[in-house]
Amino acid sequence: MVQRALCAAVALSFVVMLTGVAHSESPVGVHDKSFPESVTSTSDGALYVGSFNNGGVTRVAPGGKPEELVKPGANDSRSTLGVLADEKSGTLYVCSNDISGFGVKGPSDVKGAWLKTFDLKTGAPKGSFGLADAKSLCNDIVVGSDGTAYVSDSFTPNVYSLKPGGTALEVWATSPALAPVGKDGVGLDGIAIGADGNLYVTTFIPGKLFKIAIKDGKAGEVTELKTSRVLDHADALRAHGDGLLVIEGAGRLDKVTVKGDEAQVETIKEGLAEPVSVTVVGNTGWVAEGKLSYIIGENKGKDPGPFKLEPVALSK
């Protein structure tokens, strides 16, 4: 028995040595029928989750239960899509949208697409910034090292920016390549700043990955990257190490390594239940399973079952 245990310990050490992780996290449950669309985190391991239908933001402390941080409808918000915790400024960025056109009323009657900001610790409102186009959909957010927030808009070919202390969003980058394609196309979705200092974005349908050069804070050339395989419903995008993490709505979490104008896609985990977002805490990727087909798709009206944040071990 001792010898067997010793062998097991040696084997585990070998796995850790190879992968850089020893994974023992358990899935974290969120409120029933909350349809999470995005997840973010802070360095203490707390997770923050929005709700596609209910709005608001829920905080889950390490080992704790889901607790309301931002009340649904607070700061004239509506349905909550992208969320991003910025510890440097103590700000929680939230994409708020009127998605009643999808049959989802949300917690208020506020029209349009908005970037809302809240105090990261208390959830108190801080600011409200409208996206300029009437057909906009605020999808996700990333914050640069200088404190500038960048926002993806799924229904226009625009990436917006909000500088520290700014009072309005500005169109930072736009390109026909980033526009939704055809009547069923959905444009910009995930957004991240890579280790090389450039901005990266995905488009959802068709699933593509783009690099937008950043030079002196301004947008440069927009380049579609040649991926090693097709991305199926490319969703959330997060920086990790020297690469990127990409969520595919088809059920996968991928690692993407960019070299020049090419992107090598490596599947980390598949079989996820309609994943929509990922955030990184240490060597764990927490994946939000949104199951949105049960509220706006072919499974509407069926029981989606419990909602959870799924932990996935990441290599260093």
83-94 pLDDT, tens per residue?
999 999 999 999
At residue 4, the pLDDT reads: 41
At residue 18, the pLDDT reads: 36
Q: Is 218 helix (H, G, I), strand (E, B) or coil?
A: strand
**Quick check: is 5 in a domain?**
no
Segment 209-225 shows an average pLDDT of 97
Segment 140-161 shows an average pLDDT of 98
**Quick check: is 153 in a domain?**
yes
Domain region containing 193: 23-313
CATH number for the domain harbouring residue 285: 2.130.10.10
pLDDT reading at 24 higher than 50: yes
**Quick check: is 15 in a domain?**
no
pLDDT reading at 37 higher than 80: yes
**Quick check: is 9 in a domain?**
no
Neighbours of 259 (CB within 10 A): 8
pLDDT band at residue 178 under the 50/70/90 scheme: very high
Chain length of the chain:
316
Number of domains forming the structure of the chain: 1
Segment 25-30 shows an average pLDDT of 94
Which residues fall within 8 angstroms of residue 268, CB to CB, at 6 or more apart? 245, 252, 253, 254, 255, 285, 312, 314
| 162-175 pLDDT, tens digit each | 999 999 999 999 99
Angle at 56 between CA 255 and CA 127, to 5 degrees: 95
pLDDT band at residue 184 under the 50/70/90 scheme: confident
**Quick check: is 18 in a domain?**
no
**Quick check: is 2 in a domain?**
no
**CA 96: distance to chain centroid?**
14
- Average pLDDT in the chain: 92
Q: What is the DSSP letter of 60?
A: E
| 54-85 pLDDT, tens digit each | 999 999 999 999 999 999 999 999 999 999 99
**Quick check: is 10 in a domain?**
no
Closest-CA residue to 239 (of 162, 165, 168, 144): 144
**Quick check: is 184 in a domain?**
yes
Q: Is 13 helix (H, G, I), strand (E, B) or coil?
A: helix
